[in-house]
Every structure is written in structure tokens, then in C-alpha cells.
Amino acid sequence: MSRFYYHPSPLEGTALVLSPEETKHLLVERVSPGSSLFIGDGGGHLFSGSFIGLFHRQAKVEICQQIMVPKNRYHLTVWQPLLKVASRMDWIVEKLTEIGVTTIGLFLSERCAQSSFSSERLERWKKISREACKQSGRLVFPRLLCFEEWKQFVMAVEALGGMVLVGDPKGETIFHFSSQSSFSPIQLIIGPEGDLTDGEKEVFRKRKETFFVRFSKHILRSETASLYGAILCMTYWEQRFEDSHKNSGM
């Protein structure tokens, strides 16, 4: 069934009106009155519903019941430096969302080709993330964090906590650290084209539970390294999550 977004979370037995954007999506999907559909709130809650019809050019939906779904036990933050080419930033936000990254952090470092985030681009990335979440069947929209100041970025990393893996061609293989993580939070920090400076890396060398890892013996683009590391962690976690449910009889 088709899935649509509504915020805040709806209540069972009530009717709601979808936004113009979601109504357009519903019409493109050619959902007819009386058809069943899913409504998600972007926060992990899913509801079954029925399309009533169009009222003032917006779709009206009756909420039937909440569907119980297992919650994620893993938390992965990927810190991606701002890239020069806008289409590459759009691509990495979309792909990180599709594979289930819980937080996407964007930051500026000394070797970034760009020096600021525009409000228009931030709104575009939020929209791309929402659409990717719906397309991939994800129930939770990732948080999108953006920092133009290096100190604010470092403070955010510290506040999130957990294991921090910093991309470094001279580091240990990422396979070792991803398989040791259990379900504890992980933050992946990727450098820009040209890598983080020695001074920037030194900031993280002083932090406990921080490790420098390499993704490949080959040179990877910044966004390729982000996606590669995220896929490795998510694949490992999702398999462990499925195994834990099988062993518990769920």
C-alpha cells in the first residue's frame, strides 16, 4: 500500500487532511476513494487508513488503527563535510536516508570548498530526506544537523557521545570497529576532498572512544566514503537486530 506523511502523529478514529505536497503524491499514485493506505509521522509511528476523497483540493484520510512496529536499537550519525557540487550533497543526503542513518550531520572544515549553508539548500535537503524515507519504507526521518563553525561541530560530536570513527587512510580497517559496536551509538566523521587537516584530527585524537579508520586501500571521494562506512555499519546492525528478534521468538 502507498505511504504518506502527516505531522503531528494522528489519532485512531479521526480524519485528517494531507498537505498539498502529500495530496499531489497521492494523486500521482492514483489512489482512489475507499482505498487503504499507510500514514507515517516521521517519528517511527505507522497507521493504517482509508482515503475518503478530495476536499478543497486536499486529500482527506480516515485513520483506522496504529500498527505496532519494532523500534530501531541502533543509532548511527554520519558527519559529511559540505561539498562544492550541490548535486553530490543532494545525492549523499538521499542515500544516507535510504539506508537508515538516524542522524545526518553536515559541517564545514578548513579544506571545504564552500564556506556557508544557505537556508534554501537546508530546506531542499530536508525535502530530499523526507522523500527518500518514504520511498525506502523508513518510518523515522533522520535528524539533519548543520554547523558552519568548527567549534560547534566538535561540541555536537561530544554531546551525541558513543564511539566515534574518523576516516583516515592510515587508520585501522573499519571492519574491525563496526563488528565490535554491538548496538551502541556510532558517529562516522568523514573528511572533505583533501582530508581533514592534522590540527582538526588532533582535536579528536584527544577524545576517548575515538578511532581512526580506513575504508579502502583506494582513494574514495568524500561522499563515497560516507556511504560505504554507513552501509557497513547498517548492514551489520540490521542483521543483528533480525537475529535478536528470531532468537526471542518475535
Mean pLDDT within 62-84? 89
Give the model's confidence band at 171: pLDDT under 50 very low, under 70 low, under 90 confident, else very high.
Answer: confident
Task: Note the pLDDT of residue 101.
Answer: 94
Task: Assess whether the previous peptide bond of 20 is cis (omega < 30° from 0).
Answer: no
pLDDT tens digits for range 21-59: 999 999 999 999 999 999 999 888 999 999 999 999 999
Give the model's confidence band at 3: pLDDT under 50 very low, under 70 low, under 90 confident, else very high.
Answer: confident
Find out whether 49 and 61 touch, Cβ atoms under 8 Å. yes
Question: What does the block give as the cell for 140?
Answer: 523515522
Give the model's confidence band at 248: pLDDT under 50 very low, under 70 low, under 90 confident, else very high.
Answer: low
DSSP-derived letter for residue 170 is E
Closest to 105 in 3D by CA, of 95, 113, 116, 93: 93
Sorted by where each starts, the structural domains of the chain and their CATH numbers stand as: 3-67 (2.40.240.20), 76-244 (3.40.1280.10)
Find out whether 96 and 230 touch, Cβ atoms under 8 Å. yes
Find out whether 37 and 195 touch, Cβ atoms under 8 Å. no
Task: Note the pLDDT of residue 47.
Answer: 95
